Amino acid sequence: MSAPAVITERPAEGVGLIRINRPEARNALNMEVRRLIGQHLTAMADDDSVRCIVLTGNDKAFAAGADIKEMAGAGSIEMLQRGTQKLWRIIYGCPKPVIAAVSGFALGGGCELAMTCDIILAGESAKFGQPEVKIGIIPGGGGTQRFPRTVGKYKAMRYVLTGDIFGAKEAFDMNLISEIVPDTEVEKRAIAMAAQIAELPPIAIQQAKESIIRGADASLETGLTLETRTLQMLFASQDQKEGMAAFIEKRKPKFVGK
């Protein structure tokens, strides 16, 4: 019996880890992998014991792209009926913070998968890119939309139109990734950061994430209004009372998510 294409772990308190497990295909994203990631993310989003999620692959590849063999002979209607976009929405719509721990290749759909996450940590030798034009298509999971919104039109054009691959330093310099980590420390660092976030008040964390995401697509004035209303709403939470009381009393707070 073959190993599951996606496996889950609980590496630290409050932390759920989702691992793409197709080493024989450099973790290429076939439909099974996409569905399983969506299922596990949905389950963790509904699990109060999980407060932050790490998405990773192995030391050779985060995900080297979509599974070309699976899509090479497909027609337009078949591609439409696969519903890939619904699966992408599950990932970027997760209410809890998701950290991408990227080692090795994150190309095409793999790069887009990382971009659906909230924080991207990458090893020093990680490789990114949107090489879809080299096989006659274009990025279809956010590469022509999230990528330019993140790095700017001209950087995105340079890489989408050439299909060139770029390294972690270039990715960091153009604000595509959050942090560069030694290759052997990527997963460890991601779990430690997830555990740090998991100790914080979960309602405030989720609302901070939503304010950033919703505000990015709104005018500054609308975004500021959303931020203010969210801040005011959080004063109804037990965690706000606990956090401020602990600060005043000079003790460590205990947040319960209420």
Question: Which residues does the annotation mark as catalytic?
Answer: 66, 109, 112, 132
Q: Which tokens go with 126?
A: 């990680």
Rounded Cα distance between 239 and 204, Å, is 8
Structure tokens at 88: 């992408």
CA torsion sign for 197, 183, 20, 116 is positive
The 8-class DSSP code of residue 4 comes to P
Specify the pairing of strand 61-63 against strand 105-107. parallel
Q: Is 9 helix (H, G, I), strand (E, B) or coil?
A: strand
Q: CB–CB of 116/91 below 8 Å?
A: yes
Angle between the N-to-C axes of helices 202-216 and 220-234, in degrees from 0 to 180, rounded to the nearest 10? 170
Query: Do residues 102 and 186 touch, judged by C-beta distance below 8 A?
Result: yes
Q: How far apart are CA 155 and CA 132, in angstroms?
A: 16
